[in-house]
Amino acid sequence: MLILLNKPFRVLCQFRDPDGRAVLKDYVAAPDVYPAGRLDFDSEGLLLLTDNGRLQARISEPSSKVRKVYWAQVEGDVSEQQLADLYKGVRLKDGMARAVSASRIEAPNGLWDRQPPIRQRASIPDSWIEVVLAEGRNRQVRRMTATVGLPTLRLIRYAVGPWTLDGLKPGKTREISDAEAWQALQTVSPP
């Protein structure tokens, strides 16, 4: 079974927390499932969980190159040069990081309010960009956007491979059978 969860803001990608923060068990009742990849505490969006080790590896192993689509609300007015730099690659402390694609987008339709909301500054505009990655390192999108001068204010993972957030409200889940998940992965082409 594959579970699609729209992980809310400030939820840990684990099932227990000694500090009492919100965790996955607050949203997922299925036993013996594990995340196929991670999503930071302060990021929102699509998180996949499964009880199938082979499926988890196929989705999350870097060699699988399953694309992940992120929507980032960033501080500043995005330039074509900044988008080109994300695409060409930027140097991070743990090596080069490159987006499969990076583009400016309008604020996504039907986006839920985040609690608490992002900070707003009257003198500094904000913009939305879509960043597609074929790898996933710790806080990678945030570090990449900061490197090109666009600090991330809000980060939402919209898609992982063939699965998206469409029709999935924050904190809600949808289940897919292993057979359906494997079939959907057949449509995924490497970057």
The per-residue pLDDT for range 109-122, each reduced to its tens digit, is 989 999 888 887 77
% of the chain residues with pLDDT over 70: 98
Helices (H), 5-132: 53-60, 80-88
Among the listed residues 84, 109, 98, 178, the one whose alpha carbon sits nearest the alpha carbon of residue 144: 98
Distances (CA, A) of 75 to 1, 10, 93: 39, 20, 22
Helices (H), 16-79: 53-60
Helix-helix angle 178-185:53-60, to 10 degrees:
30
Q: List the one residue out of 176, 169, 131 whose CA is nearest residue 6.
A: 169
Whether pLDDT at 191 is above 60: no
Specify the residue for token string 């991670």.
38
The strand pair at 101-105 and 90-92 is best described as: unpaired
- The string of pLDDT tens digits covering residues 121-168 is 778 899 999 999 998 788 999 999 999 999 999 999 999 999 999 999
Reduce the DSSP state of residue 143 to 3 states and report it. helix
Please pick, among 17, 40, 51, 94, the residue that the annotation labels catalytic: 40
Could you give the CA distance from residue 14 to residue 167 in angstroms, rounded to a whole number?
Answer: 24
Q: How many residues does the chain have?
A: 191
SS3 state of residue 52 = coil
- CA 94 – CA 69 distance, rounded (Å): 21
Distance of CA 11 to the CA centre of its chain: 13
Higher pLDDT, 115 or 3: 3
| pLDDT of res. 190 | 56
Which pLDDT band, with edges at 50, 70 and 90, does 32 fall under? very high
Q: What is the pLDDT of residue 189?
A: 59
Query: Which tokens go with 21?
Result: 């923060």
Is 85 annotated in the active site?
Answer: no
